[in-house]
Structure 1
Amino acid sequence: MSDLQRSFARTHLSRLPPEPPTIPDEQGEEQDDVDDLRPGSPNDSSSSASSASSTGTVVPSPSRKLFEKPRSSAIKSRSAPLPWDDFFSQDLYFEHKTPSDTINHHVYLTPPSASGPLIVTHHGAGSSGLSFAAFTTELLKIIPNAGVLSPDARGHGLTTTTTSTGNPSPTQDLSLTTLAEDLAFVVNAVKAHMKWSTLPDIVLIGHSLGGAVVTEVAHERLLGTSLLAYGVLDVVEGSAMDALKSMDTYLSTRPKSFPSLASGIEWHTKSRTIRNATSARVSVPSLLQDSKTKPGTWTWRTDLAATKPFWEDWFIGLSKKFLESRGGKLLLLAGTDRLDKELMIGQMQGKYQLQVFPDAGHFVQEDQPAKTANVVADFYRRNDRSGLVLPPKVDDLIKQGKLKPAGQK
C-alpha cells in the first residue's frame, strides 16, 4: 500500500463511528452447569478482561478462573456422597433380642431440647433413615427446639438381623405388626438412652411403607399418650395396592448394580427418582453396599423383590386405620389422584389435614424438604398441647371451697 493510500485510510477510518458492542447470543449468555458450582468472585466484572503487560506477560482474570479444577472434577462433585453427620448430631445402635433373632437397630438422632417435640420418621421400602436427612435440616431451622429420630428399619440401611449362631438371618420378618413394634421399641430405647423420665410429645411421620407403619403404631396405641399426631407421606391404600401390580416390572428395569456410589446417586437424580441432588447425595449411599463377590461394584442393600410376601399386608386396611386412630392426622400427597374413596369422604368431613405437592415425585420429603418441613411444623403447632390450659377439675374446686358438692346450698 502506497503512502497516499495509507493516509487516505487513516483519515476515513477515523471518521467511522465506534464499533458497537458485541451482543452475545442466548447460548453464550447461558452459564455452563459447572459454573453454578463455582463460588462467585467479588472481582468479576466486564472490565477485568485479560490484558498484557509491557513485557507481554498474560495477567489471568478472576472471571476466567484459569486455575479452577477441571470440568470433570466439578461435575463429579455434584454426585459426591454427603456424610450423615452434616444432618444429624448422632447415630446409635440398640440391640433387640427375640427368640429366633437378634436385631441391631440403627438410628439417626438429633435430640430435642427439654421442651421440644420429637419428630419420629419412618422411611419407605428400600430406603433408609437418611431419606429424611434434608428434611431434618429444614425442620430444625423452623423449630430449633425439636428433635428428629430417623431409624433404619430391619433389613434396611445399617440395621442388621442375625440368628442365634451370629450369622446374618436368611429371612426377614417385615410384617406390618413387626415393623410397628420395632418403631415403638426404638423410641423407648432412645428414651432410656437419653434418660428421659417421660417421652416428649411425639409426631410420627412416615413415607410410603413408613406411612403404613406409623399408622399402625397410632392405631395400636403403642406409644400411649405421648403420641400427639401422625402424618403419612404419599401413600393411600387404593393407589398403593394398584402400584403393587407393576412393582415387579419396575424392579426388573432398575439397575442391578453401579460402578461407584457417585453413579448410583447420578442414576437416582437423572431418572428423577429423587429430584433433589442434595438429598440424593446423602440418602442414596445408604441404599448401596460394596459387593462381596465383586469388590468395587455397588449393589442394593435391600432386596425389594424378597419383600413381596409382605406387600399386601402393609397396605390393606390403611385408609380405615388412618381415619380411626387417635391423634392429629396429616396426609401429604404428590397428587390428588392418589386419594381413594374412603379418604375423599374423610377429607370432606374434615377428619384430617390434606396437603398436595404437585411438583414433587413419590419421595416428597426428599424432592421438597423445605416445603415438607414447613407443613410438618405447622401440623405440629396445630396439635401442640403444651400451651393448652385445661379447666380445673370439679373435685379440686370443691376441695378449694370454690364449689359446693351437689345437693348443698
Structure 2
Amino acid sequence: MSELQRSFAKAQLAKLPPEAPLIFDEREEDEECADDTRNRSASDSSASSTGTIVPSPTKHLFERPKSSKPPPASRSSPLEWTEFFETELYLERQRAATKIIHHAYFSPPSSSGPLFVAHHGAGSSGLSFACFAAEIRKAIPAAGVLSLDARGHGRTQVEMPKPEDDDQTESIDLSLGTLSSDLADVVQATQTRMSWSALPDIVLIGHSLGGAVVVDLAHKGLLGSAVLGYAVLDVVEGSAMEALAHMETYLSSRPSSFPSLASAIEWHTRSRTIRNSFSARVSVPSLLLPVPTEPNPSSSHPTTETTTSYTWRTPLPPTQPFWPTWFEKLSSKFLASRGAKLLLLAGTDRLDKELMIGQMQGKYQLHVFPDAGHFLHEDQPAKVAAVVAEFWRRNDRAALVLPPKVGVGLKGHGKGEG
C-alpha cells in the first residue's frame, strides 16, 4: 500500500466512532479458501481488498481476520500412502547369501474378491499404483491390491555379503528372472501372513519393466492356476528395444537432485513425465532420498545451517546391463502364456508386428489411451481402473455358469418318465 493510500485510510478512520463495527465479507474469504490458484498480487491491491480490509480497534489497522477454515493444501505438497492403501507389509526372505526384506503396500480383498498384484517400472515404486488402487476398489469394493517395491526400489532392503575385493562395488541383481521370482515370493509370503488356505483369483498388472516381470511370472507359471489374467501397461518388445538407445540421453537430461519434495513433484508435472499432479504428489516422494548438505562458507551467501536436498533413490545408469534382457521375447511370451491378456497403451504406434497379428486373431484385449503419457495408470487412474475392472468381470471364474451335464439331465428325465 502506498503512503498516499495509507494517509487517506487513516483520515477516514479518524472520523469513525471509537468502537467501529467490524466490516468483513465472509463469502469472499470462502472463495479464497476454495481457489488456491488466485493471483495473490491482485488481491493485495486496494481495489481487490475493499471487502477484506478490517478497521480494527487495535493498532493492527489493516489486519485480515483469521478464517476458521484451514488454508488450502499446496498442489505440490506430498500425500501420504495411508490415503490409498490400508497397510504396508515387510516380508523377509533369504535367497542364498542374500537377505531381502520386501516392502509392499496392501489393501486385502474380501473373502470373495480378487487380488490385483501390481509391479512398477524401473526407477518407480509401489506408490506408482496408489491412485489406481483407490479407483479399482471403487469399481470393485471386494477387491484387494498388492503393490510391491522391487529390489533396489522404494523401501525394499537388500543385504548382500561384502565382496572380497574392497575395490569391487556391490550390485543388486535386477535380472528379469530374479524380479519375477521376487514377485512370486511376495505373493506367497502375503498368503502366509494373511493365513489364506488358498490364493484368491489374481490379476497381475505391470507397467513398463513391471509388464515384462508379470509376463515372465505368468509364462513360468510361478503362481499356478491362481493367475486369472495379466495386464501389461505401455510396453511392447519392439518399441521398448528401440527406446533403450535413447535411455542414456533421457537420464542425463533429468535433474540430479532437487531442493525439496515440492520442487521434484513440480518437475515431474511440468516435464509431463506424470501428467496428473494428484498422483505425482503421492508417487514422486517415494522416488527420492533426503541428503543433508553441509554449509559452504565460501559461497556468495554463506550460512551455518545444514540444508537438505533430495536425490534419486534408484540410480538407473548402473542397471544398464540388464536393459536388453528385460524385454527380450516379451511379445511371444505375452501371447503364449496361460491366462486372459490385456494390453493398455498410450498409442497404437507402439504395437510391433507380432502383437498386431495377435490382436487381429483376438488373442488379447487391447485398449488405447491417446491422452495419456507413458505413466498412463497415473495420468488417468480412473479410466485405467475401469478397463481393468471390466477385464476382470469378463474373466471372473465365479461368474461363469456352466450348463448341467448331459448325462445328469437324461437320468433325471428318465426317472420322471417312470
Q: TM-score, normalised by structure 1?
A: 0.79
Paired AA for residue 121 in structure 2? G
Structure 1 counterpart of 2:318, from 306, 310, 313: 306
Query: Is 1:368 the equivalent of 2:380?
Result: yes
Paired AA for residue 286 in structure 1? S
**Residues 1:403 and 1:171: Cα distance change in structure 2 (over 3 Å):** farther
**Residues 1:52 and 1:389: Cα distance change in structure 2 (over 3 Å):** closer
1:391 is displaced (CA, Å) by 5.0
1:35 is displaced (CA, Å) by 2.2
Could you tell me which residue of structure 1 aligns to residue 330 of structure 2? Answer: 318
> Secondary structure in 1 aligned to 2:308?
coil
Superposed CA deviations along residues 75-124 of structure 1, whole A, max 9, x for unmatched, are x7111110111100000111111122111100000000000000000000
- Structure 1 unmatched ranges of 5 or more: 1-30, 39-48, 59-64, 405-409
For the Cα contact (< 8 Å) 1:228–1:327, is it kept in 2? yes
Could you tell me which residue of structure 2 aligns to residue 159 of structure 1? Answer: 156
1:342 is displaced (CA, Å) by 0.5
Could you tell me which residue of structure 2 aligns to residue 141 of structure 1? Answer: 138
- The 5 A counterparts of 1:210-289 are 210-289=210-289
Superposed CA deviations along residues 154-175 of structure 1, whole A, max 9, x for unmatched, are 0000001112469xx8211111
> Secondary structure in 1 aligned to 2:235?
coil
The separation in 2 between residues aligned to 1:52 and 1:388, in whole angstroms, is: 68
> Secondary structure in 1 aligned to 2:275?
coil
1:389 is displaced (CA, Å) by 3.0
The separation in 1 between residues aligned to 2:413 and 2:197, in whole angstroms, is: 35
The separation in 1 between residues aligned to 2:53 and 2:178, in whole angstroms, is: 73
Could you tell me which residue of structure 2 aligns to residue 126 of structure 1? Answer: 123
Query: Is 1:353 the equivalent of 2:354?
Result: no
- The 5 A counterparts of 1:332-351 are 332-351=344-363
Could you tell me which residue of structure 1 aligns to residue 102 of structure 2? Answer: 105
Superposed CA deviations along residues 124-162 of structure 1, whole A, max 9, x for unmatched, are 000000000001111111100000000000000000111
1:300 is displaced (CA, Å) by 0.4
Could you tell me which residue of structure 2 aligns to residue 77 of structure 1? Answer: 74
Superposed CA deviations along residues 315-343 of structure 1, whole A, max 9, x for unmatched, are 01000000111111000000010001111
**Residues 1:143 and 1:163: Cα distance change in structure 2 (over 3 Å):** same
**Residues 1:322 and 1:52: Cα distance change in structure 2 (over 3 Å):** closer
Query: Is 1:96 the equivalent of 2:108?
Result: no
Could you tell me which residue of structure 1 aligns to residue 12 of structure 2? Answer: none
**Residues 1:115 and 1:266: Cα distance change in structure 2 (over 3 Å):** same
Paired AA for residue 332 in structure 1? L
The separation in 1 between residues aligned to 2:52 and 2:257, in whole angstroms, is: 51
RMSD, aligned α-carbons: 2.9
For the Cα contact (< 8 Å) 2:118–2:148, is it kept in 1? yes
Percent identity at matched positions? 62
The separation in 2 between residues aligned to 1:94 and 1:268, in whole angstroms, is: 31
Could you tell me which residue of structure 2 aligns to residue 17 of structure 1? Answer: none
For the Cα contact (< 8 Å) 1:102–1:164, is it kept in 2? no
1:66 is displaced (CA, Å) by 6.6
Paired AA for residue 312 in structure 1? P
The separation in 2 between residues aligned to 1:85 and 1:135, in whole angstroms, is: 14
**Residues 1:33 and 1:255: Cα distance change in structure 2 (over 3 Å):** farther
- Structure 2 unmatched ranges of 5 or more: 1-30, 39-49, 58-63, 164-168, 295-306
For the Cα contact (< 8 Å) 2:293–2:308, is it kept in 1? no
**Residues 1:52 and 1:348: Cα distance change in structure 2 (over 3 Å):** closer
Any runs of at least 4 consecutive aligned residues in structure 1 with deviations exceeding 4 A, and if so which?
Answer: 31-34, 65-69, 292-295, 391-394, 400-404
1:388 is displaced (CA, Å) by 1.8
**Residues 1:315 and 1:403: Cα distance change in structure 2 (over 3 Å):** farther
The separation in 2 between residues aligned to 1:254 and 1:393, in whole angstroms, is: 62
Paired AA for residue 192 in structure 1? T
The separation in 1 between residues aligned to 2:389 and 2:53, in whole angstroms, is: 58
The separation in 1 between residues aligned to 2:323 and 2:161, in whole angstroms, is: 27
Superposed CA deviations along residues 18-67 of structure 1, whole A, max 9, x for unmatched, are xxxxxxxxxxxxx99992569xxxxxxxxxx83999xx779xxxxxx875
The separation in 1 between residues aligned to 2:330 and 2:372, in whole angstroms, is: 23
The separation in 2 between residues aligned to 1:94 and 1:100, in whole angstroms, is: 17
For the Cα contact (< 8 Å) 1:128–1:286, is it kept in 2? yes
**Residues 1:36 and 1:392: Cα distance change in structure 2 (over 3 Å):** same
Paired AA for residue 368 in structure 2? V
Superposed CA deviations along residues 232-273 of structure 1, whole A, max 9, x for unmatched, are 000000000000000000011100001111111111011110
Q: TM-score, normalised by structure 2?
A: 0.78
For the Cα contact (< 8 Å) 2:118–2:147, is it kept in 1? yes
Could you tell me which residue of structure 2 aligns to residue 191 of structure 1? Answer: 191
Could you tell me which residue of structure 2 aligns to residue 386 of structure 1? Answer: 398
**Residues 1:320 and 1:36: Cα distance change in structure 2 (over 3 Å):** same
Paired AA for residue 255 in structure 1? P
Q: Count residues with an aligned counterpart.
A: 349
